[in-house]
Amino acid sequence: QDDGMMAAAAQFMNALQGGTNNPFAAMGAKAAVDFRELRALLPAELGGLRRTNASGRKTGAFGVNVAEATGEYGESDGARLEVKITDLGAMGPAAGMANFGWMATEMDSEGDEGYERTTDYQGRKGLEEYRTIDKSGSAKLMVAGRFMVEVSGNNIEPAQLKAAVESIDLGALERLGNRPQIE
């Protein structure tokens, strides 16, 4: 296994030195989708809160482009939610390994101050964290092995957090990730 990791690291370094081509291309990386397509998937309402802003952008370095869309919901003085959808497809299989150890584990801890647990969103594994003290929480999940969906909020209830994640069309996101590549 160590030899395989060393070989992958060497291949990655060679690709980096090779110019602007995506160093993950040899590992099955996909070109990032247009951030406008991700922005179009931000619901008008999330967890009972109206969308107040929707933005998107594409960033890149060394030929690795990342597209993301962010939606903000609610008013500044009340309940607020934010959803961020990031396309990590350009990182290939490394996208799933980056820092998502929770995808391979089961977690469930709870105390007076809140909880942290792995959970299920429409058949997709996610991680949910909630702090009772300030009624803030976050949920994240990976869709189609490339899209990181993160929902975070303040002055919200746990049920609102879960409802917010489930109001995002995860099926449409999956279809977007699995459609044939057009170079």
Is pLDDT of 178 > 50? Answer: yes
**Is 0.95 surpassed by the pTM of this model?**
no
Q: Give per-residue pLDDT as tens, 14-48.
A: 555 444 454 455 445 567 888 999 999 999 999 88
pLDDT of residue 38: 94
pLDDT of residue 165: 92
Tell me how far apart the alpha carbons of residues 105 and 42 are, in angstroms, rounded to a whole number. 29
Tell me how far apart the alpha carbons of residues 148 and 88 are, in angstroms, rounded to a whole number. 7
Is pLDDT of 93 > 70? Answer: no
Residue range 62-72: mean pLDDT, rounded: 84
Tell me how far apart the alpha carbons of residues 45 and 73 are, in angstroms, rounded to a whole number. 7
pLDDT of residue 20: 45
Average pLDDT, the chain: 81
Location of structure tokens 């590549």: 181
Residue 96 phi, psi dihedral angles, 5° rounding:
-75, -20
Tell me how far apart the alpha carbons of residues 101 and 151 are, in angstroms, rounded to a whole number. 18
